[in-house]
Structure 1
Amino acid sequence: MSTPYLAKLKSVFASAHTRELRGHKQKVLTVGWNNDGRKLASGSADQTARVYTSVERTSSKDAIELKAHTGDVDQLCWDPTHPDRLATASLDSSIMIWDIRTADKTRTHPYARKVSTTGENINICWSPDGRHIAVGNKEDMVSFIDPRGGGDSKSEKKYIWHTIKNDVEINEISWNYAGDLFFMTTGQGTVKVLEFPQFKPVLDLTAHTANIYCVEFDPRGKYFATGSADALICLWDIEEFICVRTFGKLEWPIRTISFSYDGELIASGSEDRIIDISAVETGESVHTIQCNAAMNSVAWHPTKHILAYAGDDVGGRDHKTPEGNLRVFGVSSSSSS
């Protein structure tokens, strides 16, 4: 990142506004943009997901509510090949695959396909070609799902075509952008890398000195990043699996990381009450967003320097009641509220 461009971004962020979106009744655990950036989804401990449209200009009430789960919606992901397909993973031992186009005029009840799994689900990802979904649970089982199904239409088992039972704690899962490698971060500070779809072990990368909570891939295909309980983010060369840089701006375990659409910035959140935005190539801090609580999820917009985020916010008279809000940083003053 050039010095003039870095200076420009610092100036833009210094004058940027934050928009708050409400609707959930409990804390928001996960946020994510669809592939064209026109929809923002959130999942909550209130057992629902919500999809916000035209985030920069419309009311936070202008959202589609997704109600089907009976447990916390711990994580969600959009189909990278389709702007209206969303998958949610829940502690109720199921995932739901939603088609947002089918929401009725009350902005509720879109069509959803349920896939039952073997345990309480805590992570989920969609393959780059849109043909596979992977979901992991608290028992460290990762299940691979064909969202199109097949065979007996009355059987939910038709969707799950492969499972991996791990003997170590698995916290985050993801494909690389090429879709030929599958990554799993562990409680031992390592990253397990498998060939896909052969599931042949490629590498067990010793990456951190503590539990790794998150993994994210640079959209330019040069790097991937890992965030750990050691309060560090490590940036890795995707070809050589060599750590090229660390980011140590935060002091508590890293809960969530996200690369900007151009690969120039990385945002990170933790139990620190800030979000750090740093330059990928230099490690220099570009901006700090002040927060009211520990962060659960950060997500950059796919085409703009706009960041969605959500955490363990509390409010009420006792200042202990969980608040079901999320925020969007980087909007113009004309669209802030």
Structure 2
Amino acid sequence: MPPPVRNRQSLSKDKFVGYFAPLKSQTYHESTQSRGGGVGSIRSVAWNPVGSLVATGSADRTLRVWNPEKPNARFSTDLKGHAAGIEKVAFNPVKDAELCSLSKDGVAKFWDVRTKACVNEVKDLGDAHALAWAPDGSSLLVGNRSGGLFRISPTESAILSSHPQPVEAYQMSFCWSGKKVFLPTRDGSIRILSYPELEPILRVNHAVKPGESDEFILKGHTAPCLTTELSPTGKYLATGGGDAIMSLFETQDWICKRTNTRIVGPVKSISFTFDGRYVVGACEDGPGLDVTHTETGEHIHTFKTAGPCHALAWAPTRYCLAYSDLGILRIIGLDADRK
């Protein structure tokens, strides 16, 4: 296990470009590309909570944990056992060596990456495609393409509870207290539910027509809302949609403060820097990752890519971005750490 990385200071807007402009991305090489890999192979990217490891899950069933300082696959950990393509990977937010992986056949596996052992498995989750840990690491939410929402535990093989949804949900996120879940849906809205009850937590303050719901719902997309991400400060909720828009909702009054319309395709992954100052979204169409300043909505910088990006994640402790590019993992920001 590599040692924890050093924390970094925040960068102001005028210094961001100067910091990243001279840096080159590091490519992480798979030992083989013969298992169905290629363009779009990596479906999910995740850092562990101390920023010392990066996990990738691929459509070809490859599940790998990388040491960012050693890009060759022989220094990585290959976790084998999934029988279908991997849709999501996520580290336990309070344990730096516990990883959950979710495959398309509805199986969630829990791994101790130090021993390569699968320590728990939960089945029968349907055509699963969304996964999020509760902030205390005690449970997770899984969503599938049939509208199913499941609460599972890293220590129990049985599903804790099932919560069918009226509309298919996508990649959800938690508030930092763990008491609320932000649930993006196929109709473009974002529901705010209590946890673990998974009931609407906010109500509108005006009269509704007979038979209509008084649930307060965020509306910010004209196509399915595909992902959500809460800023580290808790001030903004970012949402990404199939309409190629990334929206920023202010969490005090739940008003959409800013939108990024520079993105040219569906936004399937969003990530804030550790300080919440900058946010970037992964785009399925076209090269380039646009970084936006959270407070002003200004376009700050574009990371050039060779092709579409399906998943990305800023490191939790420093300005270091991991992302997929033509099915390969790249990380930018490591050069600065060696200076």
For the superposition of Structure 1 and Structure 2, which TM-score range results when normalised by the shorter chain?
A: 0.7 to 0.9
Tell me the percent identity.
Answer: 30
Q: Deviations over 1:220-261 (max 9, x none)?
A: 111110011221111111222111111122122212210000
1:334 shift after superposition: 8.7
Among candidates 322, 330, 333, match of residue 327 of structure 1: 330
Q: 2:83 matched to 1:78? A: no
For the aligned residue pairs, the C-alpha RMSD in angstroms reads 1.8
Match of residue 247 from structure 1: 260
Report 1:169-248 matches (<5 A).
169-202=168-201, 203-248=216-261
Structure 1 segments unaligned to the other structure (5+ residues): 104-109, 150-155, 314-323
Among candidates 74, 90, 99, match of residue 61 of structure 1: 74
Q: Deviations over 1:249-308 (max 9, x none)?
A: 212221221000010010112112111111111111221111122111010001111100
Distance 1:49 1:299 in 2: 16
Q: How has the CA–CA distance of structure 1 residues 61 and 286 changed in structure 2, closer, same or farther, with 3 Å as cutoff?
A: farther
Distance 1:16 1:33 in 2: 20
Distance 2:58 2:197 in 1: 34
Q: In proportion to residue count, which structure has more strand?
A: 1
> What TM-score do the two structures reach when normalised by structure 1?
0.87
Q: Which amino acid counterpart does residue 289 of structure 2 have in structure 1?
A: I
Q: 2:286 matched to 1:268? A: no
Among candidates 9, 14, 21, match of residue 16 of structure 2: 9
Match of residue 113 from structure 2: 100
Match of residue 296 from structure 1: 310
Match of residue 52 from structure 2: 38
Indicate the larger mover: 29-38 or 249-258: 249-258
1:116 shift after superposition: 0.4
**Matched position secondary structure for 2:331:** strand
Q: Deviations over 1:149-185 (max 9, x none)?
A: 2xxxxxx32xx11111112121211211111101211
Distance 2:239 2:222 in 1: 12
Distance 2:71 2:145 in 1: 37
1:198 shift after superposition: 2.5
Q: How has the CA–CA distance of structure 1 residues 205 and 333 changed in structure 2, closer, same or farther, with 3 Å as cutoff?
A: closer
Distance 1:139 1:58 in 2: 38
Asked if the contact 2:28–2:71 (Cα under 8 Å) also holds between the matched residues in 1, the reply is no
Distance 1:185 1:143 in 2: 15
1:206 shift after superposition: 1.6
Asked if the contact 1:95–1:117 (Cα under 8 Å) also holds between the matched residues in 2, the reply is no
Distance 1:64 1:88 in 2: 14
Distance 1:233 1:333 in 2: 29
Structure 2 segments unaligned to the other structure (5+ residues): 1-10, 202-215
Among candidates 134, 145, 156, match of residue 127 of structure 1: 134
1:82 shift after superposition: 0.5
Distance 2:274 2:268 in 1: 20
Distance 2:239 2:166 in 1: 21
1:117 shift after superposition: 2.1
Q: How has the CA–CA distance of structure 1 residues 73 and 12 changed in structure 2, closer, same or farther, with 3 Å as cutoff?
A: same
1:333 shift after superposition: 7.1
Match of residue 7 from structure 2: none
Q: Which amino acid counterpart does residue 148 of structure 1 have in structure 2?
A: T
1:59 shift after superposition: 3.2
Match of residue 317 from structure 1: none
Asked if the contact 1:57–1:335 (Cα under 8 Å) also holds between the matched residues in 2, the reply is no
Indicate the larger mover: 195-204 or 213-222: 195-204
**Matched position secondary structure for 1:101:** coil
Report 1:132-151 matches (<5 A).
132-149=139-156
Match of residue 321 from structure 1: none
Q: How has the CA–CA distance of structure 1 residues 112 and 335 changed in structure 2, closer, same or farther, with 3 Å as cutoff?
A: farther
Distance 1:196 1:50 in 2: 31
**Matched position secondary structure for 2:268:** strand
Q: Which amino acid counterpart does residue 70 of structure 1 have in structure 2?
A: A
**Matched position secondary structure for 1:102:** coil
Q: Deviations over 1:27-81 (max 9, x none)?
A: 111101000000000000111210012x134534310001110101011111000
Distance 1:17 1:136 in 2: 36
